[in-house]
Each structure stands twice: as C-alpha cells, then as structure tokens.
Structure 1
C-alpha cells in the first residue's frame, strides 16, 4: 500500500468521523472561526484607519517660503525635487499675487496692503504629505533638507501630530498582535480539547490497533487530518464573517463620509491575505490535534 493511499484513507476516515457528529463539528468550527475573526478583523480595522489617516493630506502640509529674489530656475528645480520626494502627494506653487489675494480675502487687510504700496508676501510651495509614508524623524529631516535648497527662505511645518498618530497606530498594532497570539493559543486549546474527546470515544479502537502493531504515525494521522480539516474550514468561515461585517459597515461609513464631502471604501482581506488566514487556521488546528494525540500516545505506548 502506497504512502499516498494511506494518507488518502486517513483523510477519508477523518472526514467520515466529522460527518458522523455534525453538530459537534459545526460548534467547534464556529468557535474557531470566531476566535480567528476577532484579531484578523482588528487588523483589517487598523488597515482601514491607516488608509483614512493617509488621506489627511491637508493636515500634513509643509509651507516653503521663497526668497524675494528667487530665480525661475530655482523655482523649477525645487518643484521638480519636491514632486520626486518620498511621501509627497501633491505640490502646489503659490505666486506672490495669489498669496496677496488670499491674504486680503481671509484677513481683510486690503487697506493696510495699499498703504505699504508693494506686495510684502513671498511666493511659496504648499507640499501635501502622506503622514504615514515615513517616520516623523524622516519627514522632519526631509523638510530640513528642502529648507536648505537655493531660493528657499524658510519652511513651516507642524509634524508633532504625525508622531502622535504613528505612535497610536504602533500601539494598536502591538495590542492586536498580543491579542492574536493569545487567541491563537486559545484556538489550539479548543482544537486539542475537541480531538481529546474524539480520542476518548475511540480509546478501545486505538488500544487494539496498538496491540496488533499499528505505529504511532498510523494512529495519529486521522486525528491530525481532523484538526487540519476543521481548522481550514474555520479559516474560510472567519474570512466570510469579516467580509460580511465589512459589507454591513460600508453603508453607514458611506453616509458619514458624505457628510464630510468625501468617499471612503472599507478594505477587506485580499485574496492572498484570505489564503494566509486559511493556512494559519489549518496549522493551528493541526497543532491542537498533534498535542492532544501526542499526549495520549505517550500514555498508550509507554
């Protein structure tokens, strides 16, 4: 009998065992799916928050004020450098006349400007950044480099909120990782306990098989497939739960975004991320089964 045939028989045996107890199997699968969906759903929420914060470009603006005697060549070179810099989403040039009109409109200083007899406002570049593209230190270093370019008189920025934002996201990621590890251990224990119940129901069969010369691997294999199958199905179900949750939340998110004059599409799991979830879930099921079966076989073969 070939190794492939033995494995196929073990997998069929495991599937038949699960189908004989559909209610217990479904309860185990749903429990695993919920345990998996919680941390993965939180990771998806963090990804959506990153996407949302990445759109706050108007809150991550850098103003580069130019010298009064900046040449056209200096302006063109600086604009080219800004547009090619990492994390830059948009670069907007504001000439002296445009700056004057904006100042008069917003500040109501038309009379004061007329008294001066000339335009005191410099031309400038307004640079919109993605606040999550780099670390705050890297963004600050980039701003300082721009401030040293020919034609630039000064740079104005407020990146303290970017540091706070990134610190909050980093804290959230670490908390979710801790939760994910704890729940992964819980998933292993749930599967181990389920397989232990199956072993108890087939204790006589296992004892007889060991007496007639069955190896540890032969006895263990069907139970490992049980854990693997249940884990994989739980991963698929967890993926479906996350997709349904995102679909339910999308409508109120659309209404909220409309009130702010914008649009925001919630991100779910990609195909690759879903596949990784299924694989990890199957591995967790396999590990739980292996621990439970290994403990029993140690006692049986001792």
Structure 2
C-alpha cells in the first residue's frame, strides 16, 4: 500500500512537471549550469594532475657516487632507490656513459682528452612523481639517499614541486568553496520553483489538509518534483562537461604535439557521473523539502 502511494505521488509529480514544460526546462537548465561550473573545474584539476604526471622527467634527482664505490654498493643502492615512494624509474649512469653524454652535450671532447683520464663519477638518475609526496617528504628522502654509503653528493631542484603542490591545494580548496556556494544556490533555485508550484495549488492543499491529509501525503509529490528535476539537471550537467571536453580535445592534442608529447583530456567517468546525478537529485530534494516544509508549517499551525 505504501509503495502504491509513493508510485502515485511520483506519477502526479511527473504530470505536474510535464504540464509546465517551459518552466520545468528553465529550472532544469539553470540547475544544470550551476552544477556544471564546479564539476567542470574539478575535471580541469584532474586533467592538470594528469598533465603533471607527464612532467615527472622534470622531477629528477641525481646521486653522484664516489670514485671508489664497489659494485656491491651500487647494487644495494639501486635496490634502495627503486623501493622509494613515488619513484618512477632509476637509471644507472656509469663513468664511461657519463663521459660520452657530457662530450655529446657540452662539445668539450678536446678538453676532456687533455686530462688523460675520466674525471666524471658514476651516478644514479631517479625520476619521481612530483605529486606522490609532499615537498618536505621528498627533501627528507633525498637527504636520506645522500647519506647512503657510496654516495658523494645529491643534486635536486624540487622547489617547483612545492609551488606546484601549493597551487593545486589552493585550486582544490577554491573549487570546494565554489561548489558549496553553488550548492546553496541550487537549493534556493529549487526551493523557489517548488514555492511557485505550491502557490498554484494552494487551494488544493488547503482542502486536502481539511479532509485529513497528512503532512507526508501533501509533501510527497513536491519532493518527487525536486528529486526528478535535480536528477535531470545532473544528467544535463554531465553532458555539458562531456561536450566541453570533446570540443577542447582537438586543440589540446595539437598543443601537446607541439611540445612533443601526447595528452588526452579526461571527463567524468561513470562513477563520477552517477555521483553527480545523485548529488544533484539530493539538492533538488532538499530545496523542495525546505519550501514545502515552510508552507506546511503555516498550513498546519
């Protein structure tokens, strides 16, 4: 019986929305645009993090070894480096390879030959994921590696990692604040819409309350209206973000090719899209509940 009542309330809510297609469409579009803005910014931050993952070759640490380091110490150090948090790759550069690379890059073959011997030490080049750890943790890790047996010195430039992580943290916090403000705006928009529906059916509600209708019975169709409109707005917001990503995909890929890399923009996956729809439906339900609750408080007082 309870399920039948709920189904009837849902049908009545759909009929009420269909009877006013223009007003319903405007409300849904307004909610969709309000939701698409913070969701789009979240997607932008996710793509930025993905892009930074391609820059891991810029987060390199060079560990220069002593001239008399043994093969056993080299193997032990390599195993230690490979176990490090956020380590993407570890590359050993022997003395001869370092000399060849230096001659090729610096063009100092004649100067090297006058020395009669190879002055360059062997080294390890460690590539890190710049977002895997905090800058202080990375600095601590580099200092720990620099104290290992066989390591003469450690060279790194991780200041840009600290700046990068600070910018991302600021962006995430700003997006959360914006999302909270827009969520309140979505609730107010839905509440105002439902308040108009209530005004149009005020006489019907008053009569229903006089013949013994409960608060839940009167409130239920309006709650379903907010729920349905919120869910549809979430779907449209998802589509807006997907269309925006599709439009920007070509120019972004062309720009990435100019820098010699490949980059594919990410939109919302299925899980994130369903969360968006559920959150949007919840906002619509909350807005409806607030509007109906105020009216019922006045009617049953």
Mark yes or no: TM-score above 0.5: yes
In the alignment, which residue of structure 2 is the partner of 1:38?
37
Q: Which runs of 4+ in 1 moved over 6 A?
A: none
After superposition, what is the alpha-carbon deviation per residue over 1:131-170, rounded to whole angstroms, capped at 9, x for unaligned?
Answer: 1111001111111111122211110001111000000011
In the alignment, which residue of structure 2 is the partner of 1:196?
195
- CA distance in structure 2 between the partners assigned to 1:261 and 1:120 by the alignment: 34
Structure 1: 5+ residue stretches without partners: none
- CA distance in structure 1 between the partners assigned to 2:13 and 2:107 by the alignment: 80
- CA distance in structure 1 between the partners assigned to 2:145 and 2:54 by the alignment: 23
- 1:67 and 2:66 aligned: yes
TM-score, normalised relative to structure 1: 0.98
CA RMSD of aligned residues (A): 0.9
- 1:3 and 2:21 aligned: no
Q: What SS does the corresponding residue of 2:251 show, helix, strand or coil?
A: helix
What is the 5 A alignment of 1:150-229?
150-229=149-228
Displacement of 1:115 after TM fit? 2.4
Moved more, 70-79 or 278-287: 70-79
- 1:113 and 2:112 aligned: yes
Displacement of 1:110 after TM fit? 2.3
Displacement of 1:285 after TM fit? 0.1
- CA distance in structure 1 between the partners assigned to 2:103 and 2:256 by the alignment: 32
Displacement of 1:101 after TM fit? 1.4
Structure 2: 5+ residue stretches without partners: none
Q: What SS does the corresponding residue of 2:133 show, helix, strand or coil?
A: coil
Q: What SS does the corresponding residue of 2:185 show, helix, strand or coil?
A: helix
Q: How many residues align?
A: 301
- CA distance in structure 2 between the partners assigned to 1:112 and 1:203 by the alignment: 95
- CA distance in structure 1 between the partners assigned to 2:100 and 2:10 by the alignment: 77
In the alignment, which residue of structure 2 is the partner of 1:50?
49
Q: What SS does the corresponding residue of 2:77 show, helix, strand or coil?
A: helix
In the alignment, which residue of structure 2 is the partner of 1:148?
147
In the alignment, which residue of structure 2 is the partner of 1:290?
289
In the alignment, which residue of structure 1 is the partner of 2:267?
268
